[in-house]
Structure 1
């Protein structure tokens, strides 16, 4: 069994190996034929290898076309991506412009409506003009430390006609939260002013008057009445 296995294994060994093995046991003079044999084998193999290399098939055109198609499609995808980004940016910008335009239209509409209300409010503007005159006289009196004169104009309470009429005008012509806030500030400061004048407190009267006059001035600016009332 072992002999048969060895003989079978030897049949798979190449002949140069067997020649080399036998030559290793022979004298040195027998090496020359082996070298010649090996050189001849190398010479025979070189043309074979070159021929195999030269005869190797070039890259198929189908593969080249496929690669070109992939590159082309990739470039289109990238270009489409950039196009989508630019398109989205353009859409957002258009939306912003449209929103801004709508805001401008709304503001213009409100301004025209306000102008219409003011134009048809001659009586209310008369009340406000009287308020300007009253505040001017009160301010002069307080500036001169004449609180008795200021008290005569104020009337001693917020129930006087000119204060009630002023609040009627405020109610009709105030629309925004900012305007209503200034009205509240004016009324609370006016109440403090009357109290300070009654107590003959000059410094507190001056402070309360400045706050009241400032709130009224801001209100006329917000409503657009600042140029329609004399003395402001």
Structure 2
């Protein structure tokens, strides 16, 4: 058995059902070593070639990326400059419009001395009414207010309102003032102190806001 094992161990034998004779494959140590070295050299050559090509590809990719980044930065800077220029132009136009409106309003106020006098009378009337309500003297407040909104000083105040009001906000405050004043007159006539106080605060606040919007606050005394 040992002899048979040694005889069949070298060479190796492969039996095939299709072959009439056994086929022997001999192991040649020198040729196998040469083939291994050739395979190793080929692999090394291939690896070296890939290693040589890799930096070139990397440099090209880096250069392309760098150029695109520069182009993108320049495009971004150009767009930013355009936007800044548009913002500057829009801001300049707004400043011009505001200045024009301010000059027109100043000219209108300077040419409305009579209407400014009506408004100054309104300030004095409201001051008297407020003092009387603070003292819980509704009879005194009623004597100043009158029985309705058709009194002379209220009519004159509305003439000034109509002439000097231009924006929707200013006209809204005028409507609020007239509505609150009507409530004030009604509350005072009913001797309702709490409602009179609330109505007075509402009417006075609306008037003060209107003078602030129109620029008349600095023109009137007692505000």
Scaled by the length of structure 2, the TM-score of the pair is 0.74
Q: Give the Cα–Cα distance (whole angstroms) in 2 for the partners of residues 55 and 207 of structure 1.
A: 98
Q: How far does residue 71 in structure 1 lie from its aligned partner after superposition?
A: 4.3
1:108 aligns with 2:99: yes
1:142 aligns with 2:133: yes
Aligned 1:66-77 pairs, distance under 5 A = 71-77=62-68
SS in 2 for 1:225: coil
1:168 aligns with 2:159: yes
Partner in structure 2 of residue 41 of structure 1: 31
Runs of 4+, deviation exceeding 4 Å: 22-25, 42-59, 61-71
Q: Which runs of 5+ in 2 are unaligned?
A: 1-9, 14-25
Partner in structure 1 of residue 211 of structure 2: 220
Change beyond 3 A, Cα 1:126–1:39: same
Q: How far does residue 86 in structure 1 lie from its aligned partner after superposition?
A: 3.1
Identify the range of structure 1 (92-101 vs 67-76) with the bigger mean alpha-carbon deviation: 67-76
Partner in structure 1 of residue 198 of structure 2: 207
SS in 2 for 1:227: coil
1:91 aligns with 2:91: no
CA RMSD of aligned residues (A): 3.2
1:131 aligns with 2:122: yes
Identify the range of structure 1 (221-230 vs 196-205) with the bigger mean alpha-carbon deviation: 196-205
Q: Give the Cα–Cα distance (whole angstroms) in 2 for the partners of residues 48 and 209 of structure 1.
A: 109
Partner in structure 2 of residue 81 of structure 1: 72
SS in 2 for 1:226: coil
Identify the range of structure 1 (92-101 vs 145-154) with the bigger mean alpha-carbon deviation: 92-101
1:120 aligns with 2:111: yes
Q: Give the Cα–Cα distance (whole angstroms) in 2 for the partners of residues 146 and 52 of structure 1.
A: 115
More helix, by proportion: 1
Q: How far does residue 220 in structure 1 lie from its aligned partner after superposition?
A: 0.8
Q: Give the Cα–Cα distance (whole angstroms) in 1 for the partners of residues 173 and 141 of structure 2.
A: 23
Q: How far does residue 72 in structure 1 lie from its aligned partner after superposition?
A: 2.7
Scaled by the length of structure 1, the TM-score of the pair is 0.72
Q: How far does residue 23 in structure 1 lie from its aligned partner after superposition?
A: 5.4
Q: How far does residue 185 in structure 1 lie from its aligned partner after superposition?
A: 0.9
Q: Give the Cα–Cα distance (whole angstroms) in 2 for the partners of residues 41 and 209 of structure 1.
A: 117
